[in-house]
Amino acid sequence: MSHTSAISPESVTSSPLGYDARPETVIVADQRDGWWQALREVLSYRELFWALTLRDLKVRYKQTALGIAWVVLQPLFTGGVLALIFSRFRSGQDAGAIEAMLFYLAALVPWNSFAQGVYSASVCMESEANLISKVYFPRIIVPTARVLASSVDFGITIVVLLLAALFTGYFTWGLLLAIPGLLLIQMLSACGIGYLVGILNAQYRDVKYVIPFLLQSGLLVSVLLSLEDWPAWLQPWLRFNPMAAVIETYRALVSHQPIDWPLVALGTMVSILLFVFGAWVFRRRETYLADVL
Amino acid sequence: MSNSSSSRSSNQASSSLTLLAQEEEGHAMKSESPTTLEAASPQPWAIRLEEIGKRYKLGGVKKPNNNLREDLMKVGNRLKFWQTSSRPKVQRGEFWALKDISLEIPVGQVMGILGANGAGKSTLLKVLSRITRPTTGTLRYRGRLASLLEVGTGFHRELTGRENIFLNGSLLGMRQAEIHQELDAIVEFAGVDKFLETPVKHYSSGMYVRLAFAVAAHLKTDILVVDEVLAVGDTHFQKKCLGKMREVAQDGRTVLFVSHNLSAIRQLCHQAILLEQGRLVKSGSVEACMQEYLPQRQTLEQNFSLNPGEPGLRRVRLCQEKRHLVVDLETQFLDASSNPFPELILHDSHGMPLLGTNPNVNPWQNGGDPESQHLRCRLDFSQFRSGEYRLSVHFATSQKGKIRHDQVLVFPWENELTPGHLRPSGQFGPCLPQASWERMPELDEEWTSDLKKKAI
């Protein structure tokens, strides 16, 4: 839609001299930026990225006594409860309490951050409607900042997992090495799904009622049980879930099992596809965002 | 502001643009402000609109124009089905909020945008600030553009003053380094230095607004698009804001300014455009546009067309009853719970506001027929000289914000104490206070005796 060659402080002077040298922005009806220009524009707004991410983080735990400690306590409590109640329902597993706790913690740490990112991205257009209808910036920043903020939670809780693995003697260096790659899969999927549901929710508010239900189902499918606990005919389909790749890999690492590499490769592919598809849909619909909000 | 003027403008616009072309036609203002014209013509443009149009669908969503959207729409409609199955699926009409706007705004100009409610002012600003995309036409601008459509966009209650300055600044397109540079100036301008580390939810509403405006006022962009932000804060702060705006204007930056405060537009703007039902009907000097915008002949009654069910004012009528003005408002507020608070504002013949009724009075609960949509206000106007005055009617509604009818009536006022003065004398001002005079005993004996000696 536009051609913004630069939005840089260098171009700002208080005198109108040399005005013709200013970068010219052209907005033509029914014309969209190329991907490359759009990307450059997003990058020129990178400071807004951090400002919005930081705001989400600061606001979330303001006026709580325990503050950021909640991030740590949530997976610990949930993991403890799940380990107590559900581990005995998993077929063919007779592992001890420590192993059960690690099994759930390894799933909850990435899943909570993923679910938080997707959920907050799904409602972000609605909750930032005031912002979007009053000031221009590349809209994709809003859901991306939400996912980034949820990844900061991940950064804290993963330390809990690492410490737990360390104290129980299940720590491997592979676990540490796997984190960046797995985080990337997780964030790409969260962004892709977040873009898709966020932009759809702007117009069809039904989406935000569907998302919590889907996330809950996801928790059931990929956190409560491991992939191999499912019936064999269902497993090939469940492997398309990119979070299954993330969770199964963490689980394999904390239980010293071999990593399912085909699953990781599939997860990487699916997450990239999700990201591209989400961004594509988002860009198609963002033009008239302010009109439908 | 009749049909003839709008059709004229559409011809102009389609024949293609510009401010200058239209200025030649409105030669009246040429004689009024030759300086601005001289300054304007050799300057290159900062903003250029080419046949900009913006269409909205009434009561429907945008019609998809490709397969993916169609699919998503189908999914969406299916989802809608179980939530609100009674919703009619028909696409109702469409309307053009803006149509064929062609305009060039030269660098360094402060341009006012005039127009009644729904004339398309806000839509124009939204298109200019890229919040929404035009349906037709091309928009070009040079340099960095920032829009200030609301004071305190993105402010968060839980964040401190400092955090909000940085967040708001980066939303408006400032760099962190720039904000750091301006931080002291911003804080000083807003006068909140003691509360910089306090969450803004503890601020008074005045402090909040001051801080929000201060951030925006220190934006260093080439083009600034401003919508009705001076309507905030106390008078002292409003003056400060006006001063700041003037400073911005003198900096050689280009400013687009929408305000219902007509005297602010008079003070700040070099040029103006007048919008009417989405079309550009006049562009030229501020005075020329105002003359077309405001009724010039005396009118004691105005009717407004409202859609069925649309809340608003249908008719306003005024008459003089001895020492009182009697204003009749026929309204259309079917939702009794909204309780729109009316506000009458009286201006002198130049449009300067003289007085306003208390906007916190709710006349709907003063008894009377609960079904009636007719309000009558009797206003003691005996303290004003004979002359010509103007009346504005505003309603503060909960759903539609403020409904404004600025200077809708121009009426003569006959005060029996000052018969014959048709215009309030500039020498005296419009007010005729109740003053009583008496002859008093001498204050200083010595002085009067001196006077008497000299007289002898």
Q: What is the pLDDT of residue A265?
A: 95
Are the beta carbons of A292 and B62 separated by less than 8 Å? yes
For residue A146, give how far its alpha carbon lies from the nearest alpha carbon of chain B (Å).
15
Maximum Cα–Cα distance for chain A, whole Å?
Answer: 78
Asked if residues A169 and A212 have their Cβ atoms less than 8 Å apart, the reply is no
Q: Crossing angle of helices A69-86/A141-167, nearest 10°?
A: 60
Per-residue confidence at A282, pLDDT binned at 50, 70, 90? very high
Residue A281 has pLDDT above 80, yes or no: yes
Asked if residues A233 and A158 have their Cβ atoms less than 8 Å apart, the reply is no
CB atoms within 10 A of CB B77: 13
* pLDDT per position as a tens digit, B259-303: 777 777 888 888 899 988 888 988 888 888 887 887 766 778 888
The H or E element containing residue B32 is: helix B27-32
C-alpha to C-alpha distances, B416 to B150, B277, B326, B380, B387, nearest whole angstrom:
46, 42, 17, 14, 11
Q: Tell me whether residue A231 is exposed, middle or buried, using C-beta atoms within 10 angstroms of its C-beta: 0 to 12, 13 to 18, 19 or more.
A: exposed
Q: Crossing angle of helices A207-218/A173-203, nearest 10°?
A: 160
Q: Which residue has the tokens 């000031």?
A: A135
Residue A69 CB partners (closer than 8 Å, separation 6+):
none
The number of angstroms, rounded, from the C-alpha of A260 to the middle of its chain's C-alpha atoms is 23
pLDDT, chain B, mean? 76
The H or E element containing residue A236 is: helix A235-238
For residue B195, give how far its alpha carbon lies from the nearest alpha carbon of chain A (Å).
18
Asked if residues A11 and B143 have their Cβ atoms less than 8 Å apart, the reply is yes
Per-residue confidence at A21, pLDDT binned at 50, 70, 90? low
φ, ψ at B195 (rounded to 5°): -110, 20
* pLDDT per position as a tens digit, B156-193: 888 888 988 988 888 888 888 888 998 999 898 888 88
Per-residue confidence at A267, pLDDT binned at 50, 70, 90? very high
Pairwise CA distance, residues B210 & B187, whole Å? 9
CB atoms within 10 A of CB B365: 10
Residue B315 CB partners (closer than 8 Å, separation 6+):
B301, B302, B303, B304, B328, B329, B330
Asked if residues A288 and B55 have their Cβ atoms less than 8 Å apart, the reply is no
Asked if residues A165 and A171 have their Cβ atoms less than 8 Å apart, the reply is yes
Q: What is the pLDDT of residue A142?
A: 92
Are the beta carbons of A20 and B199 separated by less than 8 Å? no
Enumerate the residues of chain A whose CB falls inside 8 A of the CB of residue B76: 200, 203-204, 206
CB atoms within 10 A of CB B437: 5
* pLDDT per position as a tens digit, B320-375: 888 888 999 988 887 666 678 889 999 887 778 888 888 888 888 777 777 788 88
Which is more confident, A87 or A283?
A283
Interface test with A, best of B136, B171, B224 (most A CBs within 10 A): B171
Q: Which residue has the tokens 């069925």?
A: B308
Per-residue confidence at A274, pLDDT binned at 50, 70, 90? very high
φ, ψ at A134 (rounded to 5°): -120, -15
Give the pLDDT mean for A72-94.
76
Which is more confident, A119 or B243?
A119
Among the listed residues B20, B44, B27, B101, the one whose alpha carbon sits nearest the alpha carbon of residue B287: B27
For residue B2, give how far its alpha carbon lies from the nearest alpha carbon of chain A (Å).
30
Asked if residues B98 and B124 have their Cβ atoms less than 8 Å apart, the reply is yes
Q: Which long-range contacts (CB under 8 A, 24 or more apart) does B396-402 make?
A: B396/B340, B396/B341, B396/B343, B396/B359, B397/B311, B397/B333, B397/B338, B397/B340, B398/B338, B398/B339, B398/B340, B399/B311, B399/B335, B399/B338, B400/B311, B400/B312
Instruction: Give the N- to C-terminal CA distance of chain B in Å, as an integer.
Output: 70
Pairwise CA distance, residues A43 & A40, whole Å? 5
Q: Tell me whether residue B342 is exposed, middle or buried, using C-beta atoms within 10 angstroms of its C-beta: 0 to 12, 13 to 18, 19 or more.
A: buried
Indicate the DSSP class of residue A257. P
Enumerate the residues of chain A whose CB falls inside 8 A of the CB of residue B167: 51-52, 54-55
Are the beta carbons of B44 and A19 separated by less than 8 Å? yes
SS3 B172: coil
The H or E element containing residue A51 is: helix A46-60
Question: Between vectors from CA B41 to CA B36 and to CA B46, what angle results, nearest 5°?
Answer: 95
SS3 A34: coil
Are the beta carbons of A55 and B167 separated by less than 8 Å? yes
Pairwise CA distance, residues A42 & A33, whole Å? 12
For residue B57, give how far its alpha carbon lies from the nearest alpha carbon of chain A (Å).
10
Pairwise CA distance, residues B225 & B228, whole Å? 10
Which is more confident, B429 or B55?
B55
Q: What is the pLDDT of residue A40?
A: 87
Q: What is the pLDDT of residue B427?
A: 65
For residue B431, give how far its alpha carbon lies from the nearest alpha carbon of chain A (Å).
42
Pairwise CA distance, residues B215 & B194, whole Å? 17
Q: What is the pLDDT of residue B7?
A: 39
Q: Who among B62, B72, B173 is closest to A288 (CB)?
A: B62
Could you state, in order of their start, the residue ranges of all structural domains in chain A? 48-292
Asked if residues A197 and A118 have their Cβ atoms less than 8 Å apart, the reply is yes
Q: Who among A62, A135, A288 is closest to B171 (CB)?
A: A135
In total, the C-beta contacts within 8 angstroms joining chain A to chain B are: 148
Asked if residues A8 and A23 have their Cβ atoms less than 8 Å apart, the reply is no
Q: What is the pLDDT of residue B81?
A: 46
Interface test with B, best of A20, A27, A201 (most B CBs within 10 A): A27
Interface pTM (ipTM) of the complex?
Answer: 0.78
**Sequence-ordered alpha helix ranges (H) in B144-295:** 161-171, 176-190, 205-217, 235-250, 262-268, 286-293
**Sequence-ordered alpha helix ranges (H) in A87-234:** 97-122, 124-127, 129-132, 141-167, 173-203, 207-218
Residue A68 has pLDDT above 80, yes or no: no
Could you state, in order of their start, the residue ranges of all structural domains in chain B? 301-359+370-413
Pairwise CA distance, residues B208 & A107, whole Å? 44
Please report, to the nearest 10 degrees, the dihedral formed by the alpha carbons of residues B392, B393, B398, B400 taken in order.
-70
Residue A49 has pLDDT above 60, yes or no: yes
Report the CATH architecture of B301-359+370-413.
Answer: Sandwich (2.60)
φ, ψ at A237 (rounded to 5°): -75, -40
Q: What is the pLDDT of residue A110?
A: 93
